[in-house]
Amino acid sequence: MSRSLLVTGAAGFIGANFVHYWTRHHPGDRVVAYDALTYAGNLANLDSLQGQPNFSFVHADICDYPQVLGTLREHAVDTVVHFAAESHVDRSISGPDAFIETNVVGTHSLLKAAREFWLGGNPVVSAHRFHHVSTDEVYGSLAATAPAFTEEHKYEPNSPYSASKAASDHLVRAYHHTYGLQVTTSNCSNNYGPYHFPEKLIPLCITNILRGLPLPVYGDGSNIRDWLYVEDHCRGIELVLQQGAIGETYNIGGNNEWRNLAIVERLCDSMDARFAADASLAERFPSAPGASGSSARDLITFVEDRAGHDWRYAIDARRISSELGYAPRESFETGLERTLDWFLLNEAWWKPLLG
């Protein structure tokens, strides 16, 4: 049976990748992309889908309950995939209010609207799903040798961002247990790939190298993150929507831990190799170190560590692997090369975002 999906945060990084993935693999489904188009939401991310018969875009805020409910009714939505969130830890430290508003109040607005449309109307939409996309950061920080986060790991959020996501996770759980809303939740590790807004580590380093700007590394760069190519994340969500048990949580990870400094150095070396092999890159990006034959590593700049910087995140994805057959298709090496390819080919996308 075909679905009618409402995808929140659909013009953001992961949301846009999911919309592209879903429309390619499920062309018979209707996708309603919903986004407030804040600084990290870019309608250009969805340009190639505009005008397609099974795609529509709604420019609105998830905190606008009447608009959310009206959208659910207008498009007879049976599936919500909820990406919309403020997600940058640094911004949550300097301005936490927006994170509480979007991540907590906004999620509650969606849940209320979904409950009203699916469980309180006539007829009741019995076959429905509210899938909530969360983060590994709700689990807190791991020591270097500690086991990776499982779905049973207790919540210990350490930043306003992760605390707001933890609160939204609990609201989703509560709407299932209290009202019977058919929900699933996924907690993912750090994503990277196309359409990644250039404030996060990997796209920031790529675009800064191409502009000859410093590559800021917090502290000594020894913090560890687990990395997941964004299309692998989309496939994991697809499996949860198709086969996941109602009311359950699935961790989606890449089994791929890297120290921050090692990632920056790998990006530098890969970019240096590309400039050495392709003379046209020096003409396109004359400010890049590779254009003058120097190394991008010269741009690495160590900066004061982030307040409350979590030491390590790592996802144990054995549950989704054993129960739903999930496995990442991209290694970090292949995914990083695909990401570099995309940014080199899409200068017209990222340059306007940087001023």
pLDDT digits (tens, 9 = 90+) for 319-353: 999 999 999 999 999 999 999 999 999 999 999 99
Q: How many CA atoms lie within 13 A of 271 on its CB side?
A: 35
H or E stretch covering 192? strand 190-192
Number of neighbouring beta carbons within 10 Å of residue 291: 17
Question: Would you say 285 and 291 are in contact if contact means Cβ atoms under 8 Å apart?
Answer: yes
Q: Which of 61, 78, 86, 136 is catalytic?
A: 136
Return the domain boundaries, the chain. Answer: 4-196+229-256+314-331
Cα–Cα distance for residue pair 271/112, rounded to 1 Å: 47
Q: Tell me the helices (H) and strands (E) count for the chain, helix number first.
A: 13, 12
For the question of residue 155 being annotated catalytic, the response is: no
CB 198 within 8 A of CB 40: no
Residue 148: C-alpha distances to residues 84, 108, 165 (Å): 26, 29, 19
The domain made up of 4-196+229-256+314-331 is a member of CATH 1.10.3720.10: no
Confidence (pLDDT) at 121:
76
Q: Of 34, 139, 161, 250, which is the active-site residue?
A: 161
Segment 5-18, tens digit of pLDDT? 999 999 999 999 99
Active site residue 257: no
Average pLDDT over every residue of 128-146: 95
Band of residue 19 on the pLDDT scale cut at 50, 70, 90:
very high
Q: Write down the catalytic residue from 35, 78, 86, 137.
A: 137
pLDDT tens per residue across span 248-299: 999 999 889 999 999 999 999 999 999 999 999 999 999 999 999 999 999 9
pLDDT tens-place string over residues 176-201:
999 999 999 999 999 999 999 998 99
Q: Is the peptide bond before 123 cis (omega within 30 degrees of 0)?
A: yes
Q: What is the pLDDT of residues 289-325, one digit of tens each?
A: 999 999 999 999 999 988 888 889 999 999 999 999 9
- Alpha-carbon distance of 152 to 138, in angstroms, equals 12
238 is known as an active-site residue: no
Of 110 and 90, the one with more pLDDT: 110
Q: What average pLDDT does range 146-154 have in this prediction? A: 96
